Chain A
Amino acid sequence: MSGTRPARGEADEKRAFKPRGVLRFFAVFGVSLAVWEALVRLDAISSLVLAPPSSIVQAARQDGAQFLAALGTTAYEIFLAVLISWGVGIVLGLLIGILPFVRDVLTPLLDGAFAIPWVILYPLLLAWFGIGSPSKIAFGVIFGVLPVMLSTISGIRSIEARYFLLARSFNASRRDTLTKICVPLALPSIVSGLRIGAGLAIIAVIVGEMLGSTEGIGYLIGFYETQLYTGHVYLGLLLALLFALAGNAFLGYLERRVPKAR
């Protein structure tokens, strides 16, 4: 949306990285940790609802190795899910995108499909692929593939007609049109789709593990929750959150590195 009142832009983001900002961040962080610990110690909040930092640290000391191993399983599932959804999404998106007729017919269907709460497929995936990693990977792909496809299609659709005219007047082959016109011009849109798709795939894999599995970080969170080991649950949540945010930050960095369309 281009509005009359512009949103706060990069200037604010840059300011946040000044050393004083970092210092202030750590100060706020430290104080909130202390308040958090105090609230639980003073029984203002039950330790069954919010585990104090000390018991999270204790959980990490006690079962840290188990959590790291689980994180490895989750990372493996996420890696495959992201890879597959990127590959399938880009190929399908390009195929649909370069054929205007197919694109006009299928895009509304795909847009409608975006509204389906795909989590309802999870019991079916469990029945099909079993309780191991494949069902999580499939679940991640289902979430990850649509945004990649849709943004690839919309990236190609937004290319101005004169570029295709140019390609035709140079008698460019179909392949050249695809590799020299479609892909480079649609690249920014494709990359932002890759970021959104990967972000969704990461969440889907972890949620899938929580809903039904025998390994992975999501499984540990659910397992320790039924045991009421709040420290372990919060440790798992923090690790999962850090994992997802780190993935998001990395992909955002990649997105910014891709040159803007000319």
Chain B
Amino acid sequence: MKNAWARRGLQMFVLAAVCLSWQIVSALQWVDPLLLPAPAAVFAALGELLQTEDVLYGLLVTGSEVLVAMVIIVPVAIALGMYSVERSKMERIFAPFAQFGTAVPQSIFLPVFIFIFGVGFLEKVVFGATHALFVVMLNSMAATRSVPESLTRTARFYGASSFQVYSRIYFPYMLPVLLQGLRLGFVLCVTGVLIAEMYVSRAGIGNLLNVWGASYDLPRLMAGIILVGGLTVVFNELLRAAEHYSGRWRES
């Protein structure tokens, strides 16, 4: 336990050292301050951004695009994954399809999504959802495979209902792997939505980052990068904690 705290402390120290070297580089003016603003300026801009209505609205737009995409695609992907493993004939069709889906660089197909859905909320949602689809589906397949058949058979032999089998055996076995898939899917979904926003859009935080970059407003741009990066890291760590917590029963 003490070791874990020491490790946390050292990690904080590493981050502080990065900030410190950044401060030193910009204080000594090794780099044009126009290109590398001082940390103080960036953090001041960050505080200002958090009070700007446009920025909060941009975060809201991007956040709701990601949320809607995940809410739509995650149940579909999980169901497809479970179904394909349970009906093992289907797995032969679905598994290569999903593997191929993860190998295809979906991001470059953005123009097709724009041709179909136009530019706007729907296009971002669909584009983000396709980014998450395959990874969640593959994890759902792995999760379903990790359910021991001996347990489900025994349960059914003793007269357990389908609901009981799914809630008492499938759910606890699948949850940690599903949460891992959800986490990976979330990261890919955010990336997809941001790419779509940075490519063409009128709203969202990706659009704002583009605007700040194009106008060489680097303090705001770097503050925005820290803001978006920080938010995704926080969400990722929350999901990781849930994943760890849900798998804890296995260890005992």
Contacts and interface: CB of A to CB of B under 8 A. Distances in A.
Given A109-B14, A203-B105, A241-B104, A104 B7 contact: yes
Interface in A170-217: 199, 202-203, 206-207, 210-211
Contacts of A121: 225
Contacts of A241: 104-105, 108
Given A106-B14, A123-B209, A237-B111, A211 B187 contact: no
Given A8-B92, A105-B7, A127-B213, A117 B111 contact: no
A48 interface: yes
B182 interface: no
Interface in A119-139: 119-124, 126-128
Interface residues of A, number: 51
A119 B191 contact: yes
A123 B216 CA distance: 9
B105 A3 contact: no
Given A115-B236, A211-B195, A237-B109, A120 B225 contact: yes
Given A124-B218, A127-B35, A203-B105, A116 B233 contact: yes
B28 to A, nearest CB: 18
Interface in B107-122: 107-112, 114-116
A4 B145 contact: yes
B229 A120 contact: yes
Interface residues of B, number: 61
A112 B103 contact: no
Contact of A124 (B114, B115, B221): B221
A253 interface: no
A4 B195 contact: no
A124 B199 contact: no
Interface stretch (A85-93, A150-158, A161-169, A218-226): A218-226
Nearest to A2: B146
B48 interface: no
Given A48-B115, A127-B213, A128-B35, A117 B194 contact: yes
B155 interface: no
B228 A117 contact: yes
Contact of B142 (A3, A105, A206): A3
Contacts of A19: none
Contacts of A106: 11, 14
B88 interface: yes
B43 interface: no
12 contacts: A1-B146, A7-B145, A115-B235, A115-B237, A117-B194, A117-B228, A117-B232, A119-B191, A119-B198, A206-B108, A221-B108, A225-B111
Given A210-B110, A222-B199, 5 more contacts: A115-B183, A115-B232, A115-B236, A117-B194, A127-B213
